[in-house]
Amino acid sequence: AQGDPQRGLELYSRSSCIGCHAIQGNPVSVAQVGPNLTHLATRHTIGGGLFVNDGPTLARWIKNAPKMKPGSIMNAQGKGEYDPRLKMTVAAGGLDDRQIADIVAYLMSLK
């Protein structure tokens, strides 16, 4: 599914994403825990260089980073996904595939 970058911006800006990530120009996204995402779309890789930075891979990463990279401190965000680090399934507050597609569209616009 093709995401909508504007919906992605709005969703990102009111989700748990802003608790860990900074994006220059986004006044609510100033945290320093995870990587700065300001120019994410210009990066060739994600996950500490392990994965190619493209839409489908970024969507899988957002859905369940610790499943892709054991030891990742990013929690699984996909609704219904099992987070192996937290040993629990993402329920309330989890993102569905359309919401993830919207966030990916927003992040891939960050050049």
pLDDT for res 92: 82
Residue-wise pLDDT for 44-75, tens only, equals 999 999 999 999 999 999 999 999 999 999 99
Indicate the pairing of strand 82-83 with strand 88-89. Answer: antiparallel
> Pairing relation of β-strands 51-52 and 82-83?
unpaired
Instruction: Indicate the pLDDT class of residue 1, thresholds 50, 70 and 90.
Output: low
Furthest-apart CA atoms within the chain: distance in Å = 35
CA distance 61 to 78: 9
The torsion angles phi and psi of 52, rounded to 5 degrees, stand at -65, 145
How far is residue 111 CA from its own chain's centroid?
16
Condensed to tens digits (0 to 9), the pLDDT of residues 16-37 reads: 999 999 999 999 999 999 999 9
